[in-house]
Amino acid sequence: MTQLERAARGEVTGEIKTVGENEGVNVELVREYVASGKLVIPANKNRKQRTVGIGKGLRTKVNASIGTSTDIADIRMEVEKAKIAERYGADTLMDLSVGGDIAGIRKAVMDSISLPIGTVPLYEAFAMAIEKYGAAVNMPAELLFEITEKQCEEGVAFMAIHCGINRKTVEMLRKQHYRYGGLVSKGGSYMVAWMEHNNKENPLYEHFDRVAAILKKHDTVLSLGNGFRAGAIHDSTDRVQIQELLINCELAEIGRETGCQTMVEGPGHIPINEIEANIIMEKRMSGESPFYMLGPITTDIAPGYDHITAAIGAALSSSFGADFICYVTPSEHLGLPFPEDVREGVIASRIAAHVGDMIKHKNMNADKIMAKARRDMRWDTQFSLCIDAERAREIKTRRGNGSDHSCTMCGRFCANDILKGIFEKDMAGSDKK
């Protein structure tokens, strides 16, 4: 039985208990949210992994994506990237490899870290079709289901599956005269090409009951993929994106009713004034399924800094109720991420998630403690609260330690030093200070 089914029967599983304890949330409330599909726990039965809850009442989680391309397929680098993602605080990891020994890379990554691992099985299916049948459009539909089953058996914890693409959404794309940014989802593009070439319906949509049954068998979380997500600001919240969102929200409910844990993926590029509306629509139409935001990137003109454009979108998304953020690295739109890009992407997204959670959960206590530690120059406390304490210590050390109670920003002109001793008696006994 899945976490959802067991929760619906009133059982507090070990995973539910762990999530509640780790997050400081009432365990019975966690069980209720899992039972109603408002919270998912990626906990494939075939692999031991860290227990992570995603959804209502919990802090916003961050996913780091790695994976090879057809140009760069270095298994050692992918393992290194996976370890860096775990080290710097990613909650989950997706292996999006499309080049080299895809199955071998996935195994090496899964063996190297304890994070729940996600995949897009469609990638491996189309890569195999190119190798065996000469072209992706020659892929037998059955291969999609075989690869999905195989990856579930290996212990993949959650899967992005492009079920929301169908003949109606493809026709809608044609009628609106395509897009400024084209289709940027690899899975979405391959599936549309396959459908057009074969004049057939998307088998993942047509046989959704089979998709849900496979994932339910292993308690792999179904992440309803955003194959028509906008890849440019001027394509955001268009009819095709919203039509796919509508389908995915409906499928999320159908999947839940079968006992399969589900969540819904959100837009990629979007101006900040449309973020809240997208989250409201997803939550209303899906019965509050966890919402997995891909970035989102908030301007198209900052290549090399898209971890920042995405952090802006992620902070707002988290504050408006998104549950899960897929990081973006500085190399987005420029090339395959290297290990140093992974660190930058994870940290930027973790900062954004915290900024949003301060509003969503009305909890700014850590920031209050940090403020007091800065006022009193308690460096150990400051470093203990840092999202990236390693970077903070490195910066302070490189610029000289200053005195025991100051840094080299102001030296003897430290603002807090100037007033030291004047207001202490006024602060005594006040827990507000």
Considering the domain architecture, whether residues 109 and 249 belong to the same structural domain is answered as: yes
Q: Is residue 378 part of a domain?
A: yes
Considering the domain architecture, whether residues 180 and 216 belong to the same structural domain is answered as: yes
d(CA 157, CA 220): 5
From residue 9, alpha-carbon distances to 179, 251, 346 in Å are: 46, 23, 37
Q: Is residue 32 part of a domain?
A: no
Say which CATH number the domain at 92 has: 3.20.20.540
Using DSSP's 3-state secondary structure scheme, residue 39 falls into strand
Structure-block tokens of residue 250: 């409906």
Q: Is residue 333 part of a domain?
A: yes
Q: State the burial class of residue 261 (Cβ atoms within 10 Å of its Cβ: 0-12, 13-18, 19+).
A: buried
Q: Which of 360, 385, 407 is the last residue of a domain?
A: 360
DSSP states of 82-147: HHHHHHTT-SEEEE---SS-HHHHHHHHHHH--S-EEE-HHHHHHHHHHHHHSSGGG--HHHHHHH
Find all residues with CB under 8 Å of 331, minimum gap 6, and list them. Answer: 304, 337, 338, 341
- pLDDT the model gives residue 429: 55
**Global pTM?**
0.95
Q: What angle separates helix 239-258 from helix 275-286, to the nearest 10 degrees?
A: 30
First to last CA, the chain: 50
Q: Is residue 106 part of a domain?
A: yes
Q: Which of 315, 334, 360 is the last residue of a domain?
A: 360
From residue 98, alpha-carbon distances to 101, 102, 104, 186, 210 in Å are: 9, 6, 12, 10, 24
- pLDDT the model gives residue 119: 98
DSSP states of 164-191: S--HHHHHHHHHTT--SS----HHHHHH
Q: Is residue 390 part of a domain?
A: yes
- Alpha-carbon Rg for the chain, nearest whole angstrom, is 23
Strand partners, 95: 66, 119
Considering the domain architecture, whether residues 251 and 399 belong to the same structural domain is answered as: no
Structure-block tokens of residue 353: 């998630």
- pLDDT the model gives residue 31: 98
137 dihedral zone (left: phi>0; alpha: psi -120 to 50; beta): alpha
CB 64 within 8 A of CB 94: yes
| Nearest CA-CA partner of 10 in 24, 30, 40, 38 | 30
Structure-block tokens of residue 97: 């490899």
Considering the domain architecture, whether residues 101 and 150 belong to the same structural domain is answered as: yes
CB 64 within 8 A of CB 342: yes
- pLDDT the model gives residue 93: 98
CB 285 within 8 A of CB 320: no
- pLDDT the model gives residue 404: 62
From residue 252, alpha-carbon distances to 55, 219, 413 in Å are: 14, 15, 58
Low-confidence ranges of the chain (pLDDT < 70): 401-405, 425-433
Q: Is residue 33 part of a domain?
A: no
Considering the domain architecture, whether residues 373 and 318 belong to the same structural domain is answered as: no
CB 215 within 8 A of CB 260: yes
Considering the domain architecture, whether residues 286 and 318 belong to the same structural domain is answered as: yes
Considering the domain architecture, whether residues 238 and 179 belong to the same structural domain is answered as: yes
Considering the domain architecture, whether residues 115 and 55 belong to the same structural domain is answered as: yes
Domain count, the chain: 2
Residue 132, amino acid: K
Q: Which of 360, 390, 407 is the last residue of a domain?
A: 360
Domain containing 148 equals 39-360
d(CA 129, CA 110): 24
Q: Is residue 345 part of a domain?
A: yes
Structure-block tokens of residue 330: 């500085």
d(CA 63, CA 350): 10
Residue 112, amino acid: S
Considering the domain architecture, whether residues 380 and 284 belong to the same structural domain is answered as: no
CB 205 within 8 A of CB 166: yes
Find all residues with CB under 8 Å of 120, minimum gap 6, and list them. Answer: 94, 96, 159, 160, 161, 162, 186, 187, 225
Strand partners, 292: 265, 324
Structure-block tokens of residue 61: 């989680």
Using DSSP's 3-state secondary structure scheme, residue 392 falls into helix
What are the backbone dihedrals phi and psi of residue 307, each rounded to the nearest 5 degrees, phi first? Answer: -65, -25
Considering the domain architecture, whether residues 390 and 354 belong to the same structural domain is answered as: no
Considering the domain architecture, whether residues 379 and 289 belong to the same structural domain is answered as: no
Structure-block tokens of residue 367: 């920031």
Considering the domain architecture, whether residues 145 and 235 belong to the same structural domain is answered as: yes
Q: Is residue 6 part of a domain?
A: no
Residue 336, amino acid: L
